[in-house]
């Protein structure tokens, strides 16, 4: 039931709005029925209590009649004992009362005509007898009067008493039956009320559950699906049983998924083509460029040999331009390789300090070009590093060459430290310069391919805007990162962090960390 | 022992049978006999009647000649003590019975005994006798009482109704001793018991000896004297399968009641002759049979007795069914209503 009911609600071909209103009205209808049942029960209780009080009235009337019968016999006996007119009068008076009792009885026993008929006959006989006795007493025929009293009136009164007793018993038995009926009715109405209450609550919960899960289920499915789409998974469709607005929404989501998937595939293909084209192009360009550079070097040597010094500066310019072009092409090739996911890491163990010394040698001409000073601060505990040395070298070279490029008559400082945090050893290198610096705005654009701080800078300093993009990609590939701090007109500091031990191609990382243990503790 | 008694009964030829029929003729019951002749014969010639020791059931024991007149040839008396009464019906050992209405009612509901009330039998006969320390029924609160030798027997149930009628709780307010009758009489004389509830011959003997005072005489004291004490009943199947036999048997027993009512001394002698009562009790039995108003069956409505006792028993929690329901389920007045007309009764 847990599953089929929400499904049923979902499949119902009505709008969510209609379904919600429907559930609401179902609950309201139940409440109304519940109210009606309670009213019914209450009116039953009311009716029974009325019937009971009617029975009580009956019993009262019977008892009154019995009492007056006894009083009558007593009256007659007294009249006989002291036959004064006053006594006789009082006995006759009681006869009237008697008639009144009978009328009352007739009123309260409308449902027991037969028994009342018998009582009435007996009573009329009794009244007749009493009248006779009274008359005999008046005529002073006491003996006859007393005989009549003993032989007729007393047995008649007995019978009458029994008859009225029977009526009392009947009334009491009726009361008992009513009590039973009342108890039964109480039990049933209690169960009915409990049943209705439980039923209503149950139904309300059930309806609430069914409606909400028929709404929430699809919403959650679609949410999950959207999450997957966001992470680039277009392989599935969301399936909901709903035939309402949510069903339509799910259909639209699936359609959107398909469109996005197609679009993504097209973009992917285009990107792949671009990368392929770039790498092909670079390769095709590099071959003639290398030839140009080679020949320009050869020509320079030849010009020196033949002592034709006039050509040398031109040839050197050709060679420099060629080298610049080659660098540019290499950068583009690197970037397209990265984008195509074709870059591989070849980690090896090397001495960090040696690497830094080597690079400082390489960048020396760049330093001198703008009359800068290079300061290198290497921590003593740098030790060995396990990483792709070419990429590390390229990163440091990029940072240093940028610093040289944007600084004049300043100082470029390289700080290399080993820091052990997050359970691993890191190499942290900062390249700080005292050059032109960057504004907040300029910094925001950093690390994007082909992006330079602004057009003026591009014109003044040249460059392609690829260096930092590649640098960051390399850093991240090796499990590290790069950050920048800069103040416009004051200088810039780039800090990159790389793990000392790149994940080993064979997965053997433990030995390296173990060998580093000493330096770590130091 | 019961079988022995029953066999003893069967072996014994009912010598007085003919003489009683003669007596019946003498006291003018012939018109009914004539009526019986034009009716179809009974569906069965065999009838099994319950008997036990109460003297008040005399008309039942003396009904044999009337039953023969009604066409029954095989008349058996089966001894059934109170404790085995519901079983006797359940095991189908008896066809007709008479018994104290309250006990029968109790068994009908409690044991689902398969029988129905058919008619009234007699009024009164039980008496509640108190010691000198007891002036009224309400004085019995906290006192020790003998109400029969077994719980839920006739005396106990009747006593419960009597004390409940004046607001005592028969279960909590009274201490009972459950001993044999003779032992109870001795204890009463010794002042170890404050009241006795008994049917004849017990109360008569005590009163005659001037021991104790009569608190309630159900023969004359209202409301008890206004209702039947013992009533007649029959096996439901017997009634259903043999309606004519049931009516004829009922007629025979009613005649027998009239006979006992007119000739109590003769009836007492018959009971002695059959050893239903002990010789030493003779004069109390005669007295009891004289005092019991047997003629009342013509005046009292049997249904009202059931109704009255059902009300009283419900008061004490001895009966769960309400009176009308009980009457609907456990009584069948068709036969007595027909016979009522035959006997010219208009009282109810
Ligand atoms: N040390 C630095 N000082 C000031 N600006 C810098 C520095 N390094 C990089 N930049 C800014 O970042 C831009 C991008 O640098 P990069 O990616 O190396 O490209 P390119 O050097 O070819 O211009 C530079 O054009 C420059 O505006
Ligand atoms: Mg650069």
Q: CATH number of the domain at A18, please.
A: 1.20.120.1730
**pLDDT confidence bin for B11, thresholds 50/70/90:** very low
Q: Cα(A453)–Cα(A466) distance, rounded to whole angstroms?
A: 12
Q: Cα(A427)–Cα(A497) distance, rounded to whole angstroms?
A: 6
Tell me, in angstroms, the distance from the centre of ligand 1 to residue A437's CA: 10
CATH 3.40.50.2300 fits B127-217, yes or no: no
Mean pLDDT of B18-43: 56
The structural domain count of chain A equals 3
More confident residue, A70 or B325: B325
Instruction: State how far Cα A498 lies from the chain centre.
Output: 41
Q: Cα(A322)–Cα(A292) distance, rounded to whole angstroms?
A: 7
Could you give the residue range(s) of every CATH 3.40.190.10 domain in chain B?
4-124+226-342, 127-217
CATH superfamily ID and name for B4-124+226-342: Periplasmic binding protein-like II (3.40.190.10)
pLDDT digits (tens, 9 = 90+) for A442-492: 888 888 877 776 777 777 887 778 889 999 999 999 999 999 999 999 999
Q: Cα(A317)–Cα(A325) distance, rounded to whole angstroms?
A: 12
Q: Is B325 on the interface with A (CB under 8 A)?
A: yes
Tokens 């456990």 appear where? Answer: B330
Q: Is residue A233 part of a domain?
A: no
Structure tokens at B38: 């034009």
Residues A478, A452 share a domain: yes
Q: Is residue A394 part of a domain?
A: yes
pLDDT digits (tens, 9 = 90+) for B181-208: 889 888 988 889 999 988 766 666 777 7
Q: Cα(A403)–Cα(A496) distance, rounded to whole angstroms?
A: 14
3-state secondary structure (DSSP) of residue B345 = coil
Q: Give the residue from A338, A373, A398 where a domain finishes.
A: A338
Q: Cα(A134)–Cα(B167) distance, rounded to whole angstroms?
A: 41
Q: Is B307 on the interface with A (CB under 8 A)?
A: yes
CA distance B247 to chain A (A): 26
Residues of chain A positioned with their CB less than 8 A from the CB of B300: 162
Select from A67, A78, A68, A75 the least CA-distant residue to A92.
Answer: A75
Structure tokens at A81: 């004992």
Percent of chain A with pLDDT over 70: 96
Mean pLDDT of A102-128: 82
CATH at A485: 3.30.565.10
| Predicted local distance difference test score (pLDDT) of residue B200 | 66
Q: Is residue A370 part of a domain?
A: yes
Instruction: Give B20-35 as a DSSP string.
Output: HHHHHHHTT-HHHHHH
| Predicted local distance difference test score (pLDDT) of residue B202 | 67
Q: Is B328 on the interface with A (CB under 8 A)?
A: no
Residues of chain A positioned with their CB less than 8 A from the CB of B304: 162, 165-166, 169-170
**pLDDT confidence bin for B28, thresholds 50/70/90:** very low
**pLDDT confidence bin for B117, thresholds 50/70/90:** very high
Q: Which of B226, B300, B322 sits opposite A173 (nearest CB)?
A: B322
Select from A381, A123, A166 the least CA-distant residue to B226.
Answer: A166
Mean pLDDT of A424-452: 88
Q: Which of B301, B310, B323 sits opposite A166 (nearest CB)?
A: B301
Residues A387, A277 share a domain: no
Q: Is A172 on the interface with B (CB under 8 A)?
A: yes
The CA R_g of chain A, rounded to the nearest whole Å, is: 58
Least confident of A65-79, A197-211, A260-274, A373-387: A65-79
In which domain, by residue range, is A303 found? Answer: 245-338
Residues A436, A372 share a domain: yes
Select from B147, B189, B139, B193 the least CA-distant residue to B166.
Answer: B139
pLDDT digits (tens, 9 = 90+) for A6-26: 888 888 888 888 888 888 888
Structure tokens at A151: 């032989």
**pLDDT confidence bin for A357, thresholds 50/70/90:** very high
Residues A161, A117 share a domain: yes
Residues A417, A316 share a domain: no
**pLDDT confidence bin for B248, thresholds 50/70/90:** very high
| Predicted local distance difference test score (pLDDT) of residue A60 | 85
Query: What torsion, rounded to 10 degrees, do the Cα atoms A503, A506, A507, A509 define?
Result: -70
pLDDT surpasses 50 at B10:
no
Tell me, in angstroms, the distance from the centre of ligand 1 to residue A229's CA: 36
| Predicted local distance difference test score (pLDDT) of residue B203 | 66
Q: Cα(B34)–Cα(B39) distance, rounded to whole angstroms?
A: 9
| Predicted local distance difference test score (pLDDT) of residue B115 | 93
Mean pLDDT of A69-98: 78
Q: Which of B301, B311, B347 sits opposite A173 (nearest CB)?
A: B311
Q: Is B337 on the interface with A (CB under 8 A)?
A: no
**pLDDT confidence bin for B253, thresholds 50/70/90:** very high
Q: Cα(B308)–Cα(A166) distance, rounded to whole angstroms?
A: 8
More confident residue, A503 or A180: A180
**pLDDT confidence bin for B2, thresholds 50/70/90:** very low
Ligand 1: does its nearest atom lie under 6 Å from the Cβ of A331? Answer: no
Mean pLDDT of A331-335: 82
Q: How many residues does chain B have?
A: 348
Residues A271, A164 share a domain: no
| Predicted local distance difference test score (pLDDT) of residue B25 | 45
Q: Is residue A132 part of a domain?
A: yes
Nearest CA to ligand 1 atom 9: A402
Q: Which of B299, B314, B347 sits opposite A176 (nearest CB)?
A: B314
H-assigned helices in A231-311: 245-305
Q: How many residues does chain A have?
A: 522
Cβ count near A507 (within 10 Å): 7
Q: Is residue A234 part of a domain?
A: no
**pLDDT confidence bin for A499, thresholds 50/70/90:** very high
Ramachandran assignment for B152, one of left (phi > 0), alpha (psi -120 to 50 degrees), beta (any other):
left
Give the Cα-Cα-Cα angle B264, B265, B270 (nearest 5 degrees).
95
Residues A462, A354 share a domain: yes
Q: Is residue A223 part of a domain?
A: no
More confident residue, B38 or B324: B324
**pLDDT confidence bin for B20, thresholds 50/70/90:** very low
pLDDT surpasses 70 at A498:
yes
Percent of chain A with pLDDT over 90: 26
Q: Cα(B309)–Cα(B326) distance, rounded to whole angstroms?
A: 11
Q: Is residue A131 part of a domain?
A: yes
CB B45 within 8 A of CB B242: no
Q: Give the residue from A282, A309, A338 where a domain finishes.
A: A338
Ligand 1: does its nearest atom lie under 6 Å from the Cβ of A493? Answer: no
Residues A250, A179 share a domain: no
Q: Is residue A239 part of a domain?
A: no
Rounded to 10°, the helix A312-339/A467-477 angle is 40
Q: Considering chain A, what is the average pLDDT of its residues?
A: 85
Residues A476, A432 share a domain: yes
Q: Is A161 on the interface with B (CB under 8 A)?
A: yes
More confident residue, A53 or A438: A438
Ligand 1: does its nearest atom lie under 6 Å from the Cβ of A452? Answer: yes
Residues A60, A123 share a domain: yes
Parallel, antiparallel, or unpaired for β B96-100 and B228-235?
antiparallel
Percent of chain B with pLDDT over 90: 45
pLDDT surpasses 90 at B246:
yes
Residues A155, A133 share a domain: yes
CA distance B311 to chain A (A): 7
Q: Is the dihedral of CA A421, A422, A423, A426 positive or negative?
A: negative
Taking CA atoms, B325 is separated from A51, A61, A177, B311, B343, in Å, by: 18, 25, 8, 12, 29
Nearest CA to ligand 1 atom 25: A452
CB B230 within 8 A of CB B121: yes
| Predicted local distance difference test score (pLDDT) of residue A160 | 82
Residues of chain B positioned with their CB less than 8 A from the CB of A112: none
Nearest CA to ligand 1 atom 7: A402
Residues of chain A positioned with their CB less than 8 A from the CB of B226: 161-162, 165
Query: What torsion, rounded to 10 degrees, do the Cα atoms B141, B145, B148, B150 define?
Result: 80
Q: Give the residue from A319, A338, A357 where a domain finishes.
A: A338
Residues of chain A positioned with their CB less than 8 A from the CB of B310: 173, 176
Contact: B325, A180; criterion CB under 8 Å: yes
Residues A121, A262 share a domain: no
């Amino acid at each position: 039931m847990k599953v089929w009911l929400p499904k049923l609600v979902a499949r119902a071909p009505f709008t969510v709005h209609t379904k919600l209103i429907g559930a609401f009205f179902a609950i309201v209808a139940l409440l109304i029925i519940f109210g009606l049942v309670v009213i019914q029960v209450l009116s039953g209780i009311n009716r029974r209590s009325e019937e009971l009080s009617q029975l009580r009235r009956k019993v009262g009337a019977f008892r009154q009649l019995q009492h007056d019968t006894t009083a009558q016999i007593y009256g007659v006996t007294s009249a006989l004992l002291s036959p004064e007119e006053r006594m006789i009068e009082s006995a006759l008076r009681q006869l009237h009362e008697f008639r009144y009792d009978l009328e009352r009885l007739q009123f309260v026993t409308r449902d027991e005509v037969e028994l009342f008929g018998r009582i009435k006959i007996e009573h009329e006989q009794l009244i007749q007898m009493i009248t006779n006795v009274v008359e005999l007493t008046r005529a002073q025929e006491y003996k006859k009067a007393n005989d009549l009293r003993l032989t007729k009136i007393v047995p008649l009164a007995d019978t009458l008493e029994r008859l009225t007793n029977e009526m009392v018993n009947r009334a009491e038995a009726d009361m008992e039956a009513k009590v039973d009926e009342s108890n039964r009715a109480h039990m049933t109405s209690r169960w009915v009320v409990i049943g209705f209450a439980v039923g209503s609550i149950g139904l309300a919960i059930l309806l609430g559950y069914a409606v909400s899960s028929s709404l929430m289920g699809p919403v959650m499915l679609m949410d999950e699906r959207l999450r997957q789409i966001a992470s680039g998974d277009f392989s599935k469709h969301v399936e909901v049983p709903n035939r309402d607005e949510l069903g339509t929404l799910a259909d639209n989501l699936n359609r959107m998924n398909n469109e996005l998937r197609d679009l993504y595939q097209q973009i992917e293909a285009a990107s792949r083509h671009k990368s392929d084209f770039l790498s092909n192009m670079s390769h095709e360009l590099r071959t003639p460029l290398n030839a140009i550079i080679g020949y320009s070097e050869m020509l320079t040597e030849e010009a020196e040999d033949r002592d034709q010094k006039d050509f040398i500066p031109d040839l050197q310019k050709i060679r420099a331009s060629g080298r610049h072009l080659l660098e540019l092409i290499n950068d583009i090739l690197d970037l397209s390789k990265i984008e195509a996911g074709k870059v591989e890491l070849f980690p090896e163990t090397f001495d960090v300090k040696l690497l830094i010394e080597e690079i400082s040698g390489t960048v020396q001409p760049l330093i001198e070009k703008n009359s800068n000073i290079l300061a290198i601060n290497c921590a003593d505990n740098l030790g060995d590093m396990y990483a792709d040395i070419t990429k590390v070298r390229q990163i440091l070279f990029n940072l240093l060459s940028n610093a040289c490029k944007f600084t004049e008559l300043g100082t470029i400082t390289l700080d290399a430290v080993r820091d052990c945090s997050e359970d691993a050893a890191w190499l942290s290198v900062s390249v700080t310069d005292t050059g032109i610096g960057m504004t907040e705005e300029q910094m925001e654009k950093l690390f994007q391919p082909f992006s330079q701080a602004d057009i003026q800078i591009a014109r003044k300093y040249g460059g392609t805007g690829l260096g930092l993009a590649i640098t960051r990609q390399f850093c991240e590939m090796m499990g590290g990162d790069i950050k920048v701090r800069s103040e416009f007109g004051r200088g810039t500091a780039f800090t990159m962090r790389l793990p000392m031990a790149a994940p080993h191609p064979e997965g053997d990382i433990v030995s390296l960390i173990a060998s580093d243990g000493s330096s770590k503790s130091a | 022992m019961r079988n022995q008694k029953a066999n003893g009964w069967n072996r014994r030829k009912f010598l007085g049978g003919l003489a009683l029929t003669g007596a019946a003729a003498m006291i003018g019951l012939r018109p009914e006999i004539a009526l019986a002749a034009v009716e179809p014969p009974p569906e069965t010639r065999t009838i099994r009647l319950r008997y036990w020791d109460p003297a008040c059931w005399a008309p039942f024991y003396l009904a044999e000649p009337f039953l023969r007149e009604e066409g029954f040839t095989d008349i058996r008396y089966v001894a059934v003590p109170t404790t085995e009464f519901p079983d006797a019906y359940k095991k189908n050992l008896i066809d007709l019975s008479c018994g104290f209405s309250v006990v029968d009612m109790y068994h009908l509901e409690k044991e689902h005994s398969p029988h129905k009330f058919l008619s009234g039998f007699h009024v009164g006969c039980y008496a509640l006798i108190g010691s000198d320390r007891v002036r009224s029924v309400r004085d019995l609160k906290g006192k020790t009482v003998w109400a029969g030798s077994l719980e839920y027997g006739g005396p106990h149930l009747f006593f419960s109704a009597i004390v409940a009628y004046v607001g005592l709780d028969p279960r909590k307010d009274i201490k009972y001793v459950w001993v044999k009758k003779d032992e109870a009489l001795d204890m009463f004389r010794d002042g170890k018991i404050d009241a006795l509830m008994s049917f004849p011959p017990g109360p008569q003997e005590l009163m005659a000896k001037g021991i104790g005072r009569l608190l309630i005489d159900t023969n004359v004291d209202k409301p008890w004297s206004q209702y039947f004490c013992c009533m007649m009943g029959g096996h439901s199947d017997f009634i259903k399968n043999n309606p004519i036999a049931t009516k004829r048997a009922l007629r025979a027993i009613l005649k027998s009641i009239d006979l006992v009512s007119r000739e109590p001394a003769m009836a007492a002698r018959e009971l002695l002759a059959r050893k239903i009562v002990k010789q030493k009790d003779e004069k109390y039995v005669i007295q009891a049979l004289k005092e019991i108003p047997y003629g009342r069956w013509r005046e009292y409505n049997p249904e009202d007795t059931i109704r009255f006792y059902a009300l009283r028993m419900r008061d004490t929690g001895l009966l769960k069914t309400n009176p009308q329901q009980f009457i609907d389920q456990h009584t069948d007045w068709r036969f007595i209503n027909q016979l009522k007309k035959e006997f010219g009764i208009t009282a109810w």
